[in-house]
Amino acid sequence: METVVSGIRSTGNLHLGNYFGAIKNFLKMQHENNCYFFIADYHSLTTHPNPSDLHDKVKQVLVEYLACGIDPEAATIYIQSDLPEIAELYLLMNMNAYIGELERCTSFKEKIRKHSDNINAGLLTYPVLMAADILIHRAHKVPVGKDQEQHLEMTRQFGNRFNRIYSVDYFPEPVAFNFGTELVKIPGLDGSGKMGKSEGEGNAIFLFDTAVAIRKKVMKAVTDTGPTQLNQTKPEVIENLFKLMNAVSKPDTISYFDEQYNAMTIRYGDLKKQLAEDMVLFTAPFREKILELLSNNDYINKVVRQGAEKAHESGRKTVKEVREIIGLKSF
Ligand code: TYM
């Protein structure tokens, strides 16, 4: 049986990118594999969240995960900071991670550009912590979106390097996984390329959004002045809207607007209205379930306790074995 690990930062609500990039694949795998899903609250500390609302954010993300259909009886769902073994493995893996490779990481360069006032060491070593999350369960597959590809490459590098340094065959090589052949990148609504919680206002559609909020955001989505030639290649902002349709609309709807585009008769207002309604239909059951779960604290607490216990078992074993390999033996 293969081991699968995936996670999400606890920095904001779940959006369609998270769902189609990672969760949908995880759902398909949870009954046939040894699956772990966690809320990355240690990772969220790089942005210095307010202590008074950190806990509520973790709870919200956990509930949203459960509302998506992650089954705590099949998969182990836990909070990253409930597993201090991750912090120990992170420390140990940091010894074999080189500053040069961490500085070259695309997500680090992007963070420097966006948050020049807070370039902390946690940001630099973010990929090492992420590797620790994956290696702690000696995972084979990691369902993630396209934006995490480089982090997975680095995880393999750190795991392989550990194996080489200590002449062991301990960590398997984890791969970024999608049931389709390619990793997914769901575009945002503002023409910026990627749907993300830290992108601008109006970029992302969250599973918890109300119908009113969804309609408002979609109607504001960036478009152009329309096609100027029959059957022309779509510019990126328009292609993005079609990609979003691809995720939530019926094939007939997509071909209808595709034909309209090719014939130069398309009205973007109509396309957006349809897209908004399809998104509302898609997200409504999740929103309902989230609201229902949020009021069920006993259940949430039980899930978290049970998850921490199961994840601990695996984490403790790995750290014990890694310590032995390194030579940190008990007296
Ligand atoms: P995060 O919290 O940004 O996103 C969680 C998951 O959602 C995917 N995703 C997307 N997929 C497609 N299109 C998009 N627009 C889009 N936006 C987000 C991400 O690829 C990810 O799979 N570093 C990770 C969290 C993490 C993790 C891990 C993941 C920490 N440790 C170990 C897997 C394994 C992150 O920031 O994801």
Domain-embedded: residue 228: yes
Residue 98 has pLDDT above 90, yes or no: yes
Q: Are residues 202 and 114 in the same domain?
A: no
Q: Are residues 225 and 242 in the same domain?
A: yes
| Structure confidence at residue 193 (pLDDT) | 83
Terminal C-alpha separation, the chain: 35
Q: Is 284 within 8 Å of 211 (Cβ atoms)?
A: yes
pLDDT band at 66 (very low <50, low <70, confident <90, very high): very high
Residue 330 has pLDDT above 90, yes or no: no
Q: How far is the CA of 276 from the centre of ligand 1 (A)?
A: 24
Domain-embedded: residue 27: yes
pTM of this prediction?
0.96
Q: Is 245 within 8 Å of 189 (Cβ atoms)?
A: no
pLDDT band at 191 (very low <50, low <70, confident <90, very high): confident
Mean pLDDT, the chain, as a whole number? 96
Structural domain range at position 287? 197-291
Q: Are residues 49 and 119 in the same domain?
A: yes
Q: Count of H helices and E strands in the chain?
A: 15, 5
Does the annotation count 310 as an active-site position? no
Mutate to test the pocket of ligand 1, among 4, 25, 141, 144 (most ligand atoms within 8 A of CB): 144
Residue 200 has pLDDT above 90, yes or no: no
Q: Are residues 24 and 172 in the same domain?
A: yes
Domain-embedded: residue 103: yes
Does the annotation count 194 as an active-site position? yes
Domain-embedded: residue 203: yes
CATH code assigned at 226: 1.10.240.10
Mutate to test the pocket of ligand 1, among 60, 148, 152, 194 (most ligand atoms within 8 A of CB): 148
Tens of pLDDT, residues 44-55: 999 899 999 999
| Structure confidence at residue 150 (pLDDT) | 97
Does the annotation count 111 as an active-site position? yes
Q: How far is the CA of 8 from the centre of ligand 1 (A)?
A: 5
Q: Are residues 61 and 11 in the same domain?
A: yes
Total domains in the fold of the chain: 2
Q: Are residues 88 and 168 in the same domain?
A: yes
**Which residue CA neighbors atom 17 of ligand 1 most closely?**
17
| Structure confidence at residue 284 (pLDDT) | 98
Tens of pLDDT, residues 223-261: 999 999 999 999 999 999 999 999 999 999 999 999 999
Q: Are residues 255 and 150 in the same domain?
A: no
Residue 119 has pLDDT above 80, yes or no: yes
Q: How far apart (Å, rounded) are the C-alpha atoms in residues 116 and 110?
A: 10
